[in-house]
């Protein structure tokens, strides 16, 4: 009885620890992505990837660390560029797929959002695994879970631009600007809105 009670009491602390570490990685990612000079991003993302790897190791049965490992690896790949980035995006895909196996709706379907963005931004065969059909499928799944989400709408809008559908893209990019902000994610939200405004201006 004592052991059962101790386990019950420990569960909220464990969950709180996950959320605390998650918030730290999210905030650091936003600082690097939106506030750091481009020439410094690659090294900073490499360091953050090490932290994300340790986060996954501490909570191997949770989807949230895997999702953010995938996000960090994919943005590190974007900062790195070139053929050296292909290994990173493959590792990112593996992390996101592992997260889906655990909990497909974790973080409001963020694994679907990030996988979809990978599939339309990564080159196709023979260099990479890019696939526009898979991108559309995953991005639509993310919108089904989180129809008003900033990231879900941004990436589907950006994908539609990539597919030559500017008027449909406008609808989703405008939803980014109207989306409710996320507590603790202010830097990321403003950065994403700025990206959406830039896409709309080009339209």
pTM: 0.91
Q: What is the mean pLDDT of residues 32-39?
A: 97
**Do 48 and 76 share a structural domain?**
yes
Residue 134's pLDDT band, with cuts at 50, 70 and 90, is very high
| Domain-located, residue 5 | no
When comparing pLDDT for 84 and 135, which is higher?
135
| More reliable by pLDDT, 176 or 84 | 176
Residues 74 and 111 in one domain: yes
Question: Do 56 and 83 belong to one domain?
Answer: yes
In this predicted structure, the answer to whether residue 92 has a pLDDT above a threshold of 60 is yes
Q: What is the DSSP letter of 179?
A: S
Closest CA to 157 of 115, 199, 185: 199
Note down the domain range covering 165: 147-203
Is the model's pLDDT at 13 over the cut of 80?
A: no
Query: What does the pLDDT look like over 109-119, one tens digit per residue?
Result: 999 999 999 99
Q: In whole angstroms, what is the distance from residue 27 CA to residue 195 CA? A: 18
In a domain, 161, yes or no: yes
CATH number at residue 106: 1.25.40.10
């Amino acid at each position: 009885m004592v052991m059962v009670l101790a386990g019950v009491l420990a569960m909220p602390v464990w969950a709180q620890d996950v959320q605390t570490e998650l918030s730290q990685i999210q905030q650091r990612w936003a600082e690097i992505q939106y506030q750091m000079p481009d020439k410094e991003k690659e090294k900073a993302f490499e360091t953050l990837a090490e932290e994300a790897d340790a986060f996954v190791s501490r909570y191997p049965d949770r989807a949230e660390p895997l999702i953010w490992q995938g996000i960090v690896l994919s943005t590190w790949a974007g900062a790195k560029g070139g053929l050296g980035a292909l290994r990173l995006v493959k590792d990112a895909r593996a992390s996101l797929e592992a997260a889906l196996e655990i909990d497909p709706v974790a973080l409001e379907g963020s694994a679907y959002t990030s996988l979809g963005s990978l599939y339309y931004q990564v080159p196709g065969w023979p260099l990479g695994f890019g696939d526009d059909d898979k991108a559309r499928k995953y991005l639509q799944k993310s919108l089904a879970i989180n129809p008003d989400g900033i990231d879900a709408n941004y990436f589907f809008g950006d994908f539609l631009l990539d597919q030559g559908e500017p008027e449909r893209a406008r609808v989703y990019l405008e939803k980014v600007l109207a989306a409710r902000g996320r507590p603790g994610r202010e830097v990321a939200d403003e950065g994403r809105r700025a990206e959406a405004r830039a896409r709309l201006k080009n339209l």
